[in-house]
């Protein structure tokens, strides 16, 4: 072998050794246990993203405050869950917090909350964000968004932060330093663009259809078929009731009022994680003309929503979105926070498929009138048509891919 050939061979070996495989981009989907309204859209987008782009980048799903088994991280999630309970049990609590945030300024308020009031979880959360070594982090909860933005603005991470707000309007609890914000309401986007905080940090925006679970597209049969699948008498007017994952609204009061109905009904109360209420309901012997089918925490909400004729409950985002997708009118009896008032307004005033009646006797009276004469619901059913979409997760998955590679 000549010297020339030897040098050529060595050069090729050096080029092969020194060349590095291009590093794959990384996206993180951090879940937070503080009500299903944050978990379900996160799961919907993560599923859509992995299906379309999972082979082209690194995708990490994590329950942000749980998987490290760190008590200081778990503490933050416990506080968030307690706040959900407090807001549902006492409206004054939510109003007081909203007043303080408006008075002190939302950005200062959330920084004070996470870095001082809940300071034991601050450094562990910041460290967790750094350890991801991500290029993009997608948030459906404001707590992880704060830590993501805080880490980036301290120069400890490089990851872009993209949020999806499950509510029609972005509230003050969301960090304004976010790179890209998405939500499911054109009106909400217009309002957000006007906020000084978002303008200051040059936040970009997009509106996508509500992030309903992709599995909803599999429900193509008739309501009668799904009633039969659940063992429900098809001819009985069926009412689904839910007050969120923790079942602490007006669910109990509404069920007992419905049990007084002279009309044949099927009543399906979903108690979520309120086990005491579920045990109470299963111990009830209803009148012979009423069928009572209580559920605890269940993964069958889509099946239940597809089988009911009317939904009654609080104005949670998914609470209303899923029945609406199936063409089911709603009666809202409870709004725990200003955010839920915005959600309720979206369904009552923008879409027009929902009635808000906080007096339980009046709400049940309207429900019974629908059972007696279902044609009264036709205007409400027709108003659900614009919301019968399930392509939001795919649209947002495309946005995330573009942001990841921009």
Q: Tell me the CA end-to-end span of the chain in Å, nearest whole number.
A: 48
- pTM confidence score: 0.81
Q: What are phi and psi of 215, to 5 degrees?
A: -65, -15
Q: What's the pLDDT tens digit per position in 305-337?
A: 999 999 999 998 888 999 999 999 999 998 877
CATH class of this structure's domain 218-387: alpha beta
In 3D, which of 245, 368, 373, 363 has the Cα closest to residue 298?
245
Do residues 302 and 40 lie in contact, with contact meaning Cβ atoms separated by under 8 Å? no
* Gyration radius of the chain's alpha carbons: 24
Q: What's the pLDDT tens digit per position in 65-81?
A: 998 899 999 999 999 98
Q: What is the Cα–Cα distance from 28 to 298, expressed in whole angstroms?
A: 27
Segments in the chain below pLDDT 70: 1-21, 35, 85-105, 244-248
Q: Which residues contact 147 (CB under 8 A, 6 or more apart)?
A: 114, 125, 126, 128, 129
Domain boundaries, the chain: 26-212+391-405, 218-387
């Amino acid at each position: 072998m000549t010297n020339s050939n030897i040098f050529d061979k060595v050069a090729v070996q050096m080029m092969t050794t020194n060349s590095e495989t291009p590093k794959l981009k990384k996206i993180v989907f951090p879940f937070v246990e503080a009500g299903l309204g944050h978990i379900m859209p996160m799961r919907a987008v993560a599923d859509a993203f992995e299906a379309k782009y999972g082979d082209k980048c690194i995708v990490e799903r994590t329950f942000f405050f749980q998987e490290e088994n760190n008590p200081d991280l778990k503490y933050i999630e416990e506080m968030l869950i307690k706040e959900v309970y407090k807001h549902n049990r006492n409206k004054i609590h939510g109003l007081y917090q909203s007043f303080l945030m408006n008075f002190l300024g939302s950005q200062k308020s959330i920084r004070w909350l996470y870095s001082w009031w809940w300071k034991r979880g601050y450094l562990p959360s910041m460290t967790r964000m750094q350890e991801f070594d991500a290029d993009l982090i997608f948030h459906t909860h404001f707590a992880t968004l704060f830590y993501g933005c805080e880490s980036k603005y301290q120069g400890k991470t490089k990851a872009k932060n993209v949020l999806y707000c499950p509510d029609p309007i972005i509230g003050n609890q969301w960090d304004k330093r976010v790179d890209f914000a998405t939500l499911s309401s054109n009106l909400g986007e217009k309002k957000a663009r006007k906020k000084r905080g978002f303008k200051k940090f040059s936040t970009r925006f997009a509106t996508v259809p509500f992030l309903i679970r992709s599995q909803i597209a599999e429900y193509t049969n008739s309501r009668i078929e799904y009633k039969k699948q659940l063992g429900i008498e098809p001819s009985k007017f069926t009412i689904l009731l839910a007050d969120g994952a923790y079942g602490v609204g007006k669910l109990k009061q509404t069920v007992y009022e419905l049990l007084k109905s002279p009309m044949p009904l099927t009543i399906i109360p979903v108690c979520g994680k309120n086990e005491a209420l579920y045990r109470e309901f299963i111990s009830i012997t209803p009148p012979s003309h009423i069928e009572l089918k209580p559920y605890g925490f269940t993964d069958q909400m889509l099946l239940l929503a597809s089988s009911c004729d009317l939904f009654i409950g609080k104005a949670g985002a998914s609470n209303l979105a899923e029945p609406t997708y199936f063409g089911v009118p709603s009666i809202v009896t409870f709004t725990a926070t200003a955010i839920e008032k915005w959600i309720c307004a979206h369904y009552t005033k923008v879409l027009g498929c929902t009635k808000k009646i906080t007096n339980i006797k009046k709400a049940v009276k309207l429900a019974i009138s629908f059972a007696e004469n279902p044609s009264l619901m036709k205007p409400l059913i027709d108003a659900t048509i614009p919301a019968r979409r399930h392509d939001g997760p795919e649209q947002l998955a495309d946005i995330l891919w573009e942001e990841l590679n921009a």
